[in-house]
Amino acid sequence: MDLSGTLILAGLIIALLWLLSLKKKESKLCLPPGPSGLPIIGNLHQLDKKAPFKTLLKLSETYGPVMTLYLGSQRIVVLAGYDAVKEALVDQADDFTGRGPIPFLMRATKGYGLAISNGERWRQLRRFTLTTLRDFGMGRKGMEEWIQEESKHLVERINHTKATPFDPTFFMSCTVSNVICCLVFGQRFSYDDDHFLHLLQIISDTLKFGSSPWGQLYNVFPGLMERLPGRQHRAFARIQELREFIMNKIQEHQDTLDPSSPRDYIDCFLMRLIQEKDFPTTEFHYENLVSTVFNLYLAGTETTSSTIRFALSVMIKYPKIQETMQQEIANVIGQERCPCMEDRKSLPFTDAVIHEIQRLMDIVPMNIPHHALQDISFRGYTIPKDTVIIPLLHSVLKEEKQWATPWSFNPQHFLDQNGNFKKNPAFLPFSAGKRACVGESLARMEIFLFVVSLLQRFTLSCPGGPDSIDLSPEYSSFANVPRRYEIIATPRGE
């Protein structure tokens, strides 16, 4: 046998031994079942690179609602379907609060901040963030007034398009971002501010990169990807621009801080940082401030604005649905008064459509991955420490057992026989349990108030007509990013 033949044979023997040792370890651990993997790459070759969550859902039909697979050398346990996801995140909440060291987020945040923290850091930052955002009105009247004010700026800006086609992407990003900017930075920005628009483009590009096969590869092989040329280096350079903007804002706050009158989230954090500067175990320090503001700014801008853009596409795709909503809004609110959250209970059809839009969009199909901080016993299996856990939200929002027509747009999912709004426990676009989205109440308020304000004032259409609208995402993977369309907003009554 020549040298190349010997090397191939040796490689095959090593691969076989690796697979056998893996199987032996797994049988001892009582891991959930799953497909066999290959050396080095695990099950990567089996995944749909553009929509890996679709492969995971398909595999769960064979291996069940709790299954094991490998992305490279990283063990993954996938939870599929409402029952398994709820049992883990809600019923066994303490076991499943861990967040894994996701390489892309670790690099972007330097390992600090709320999104990927665990233990005492996570507890301190989450409690503080929820309390502070509520103090500044998140989910309450103060925040509602900010959103109503911002909706007036949005309506005015859209009026300037004079019923000619325009791309709503940046209008929506500006509008939604200004709400989080008021909370975090204590200011809003003009829709014509070039630097603000540049930052919004960075946020949009960051989400797209994270949802691209290239971004997913970085999460599986970060060490290798750091050494290889590619778009990951540009993505991190642009993220650094965003961090520098945040650092400049923090410096401005430090220079003008009045402890007797905090203006926003940054002021409150700086005050806590000063109070606890001599505490050796405090989590209120500069790096956690920068990265938590980064988390809030990124998450509070792109996911909500993408959802509203998707809502506009749905309205155009289904003009009869749009018309029914407009009629309901006209009957309850009229065309002049600003919509408020109190109106929601009088707008059951509109509320049902908005919920169905979020269900169909499935914004973060694989959730933000959880992490086993210690061995977890779940449904008779062992999930070993350091396993990445994916509670597959896609499988909950599209589960046939929970939804009459899971793959098509159907507002009746949220209406009873009398046309009243009805809840469905499987509506989990913000996840569930102790790591559910910290800004859920804010996002719900924004989506409702902005969508109702737009339908109150405008009839939405597009140059190509309803049939030209494709509701499938432009990008999938980490997030489902909706396609961009030019739309026409015709003022009502004209």
pLDDT per position as a tens digit, 62-97:
999 999 999 888 999 999 999 999 999 999 999 999
Structural domain boundaries, residue 424: 100-374+399-491
Counting the structural domains of the chain, the total is 1
Task: Tell me what pLDDT residue 100 has.
Answer: 83
Q: Does residue 90 form part of some domain?
A: no
Q: Does residue 6 form part of some domain?
A: no
- Are the beta carbons of 238 and 206 closer than 8 angstroms? yes
pLDDT tens for each residue of 288-323: 999 999 999 988 888 999 999 999 999 999 999 999
Q: Does residue 198 form part of some domain?
A: yes
CA quadruple 379, 383, 388, 389: dihedral, nearest 10:
10
pLDDT band at 3 (very low <50, low <70, confident <90, very high): very low
Task: Tell me what pLDDT residue 7 has.
Answer: 47
CA atoms of 302 and 483, how far apart (whole Å)? 14
Burial class (CB in 10 A: 0-12, 13-18, 19+), 276: middle
CA atoms of 298 and 204, how far apart (whole Å)? 9
Task: Tell me what pLDDT residue 475 has.
Answer: 77
- Of the candidates 196, 79, 143, 185, the one whose C-alpha atom is nearest the C-alpha of residue 439 is 143
What are residue 77's DSSP bridge partners?
A: 68, 389
Q: Does residue 235 form part of some domain?
A: yes
Q: The domain spanning residue 338 has which CATH number?
A: 1.10.630.10
Angle, helices 440-457 vs 319-332, to 10°: value is 90
Q: Does residue 175 form part of some domain?
A: yes
Mean pLDDT, all residues of the chain? 91
The residue behind tokens 């004209």 is: 494
Angle, helices 286-317 vs 348-361, to 10°: value is 110
Mean pLDDT computed over 39-60: 92
Task: Tell me what pLDDT residue 23 has.
Answer: 52
pLDDT band at 376 (very low <50, low <70, confident <90, very high): very high
pLDDT tens for each residue of 247-285: 999 999 999 999 999 989 999 999 999 999 999 999 999
Residues contacting 218, CB < 8 A, separation 6+: 103, 104, 225, 232
Q: Does residue 161 form part of some domain?
A: yes
Q: Does residue 105 form part of some domain?
A: yes
Pair of tokens at residue 243? 């961090």
Q: Does residue 394 form part of some domain?
A: no
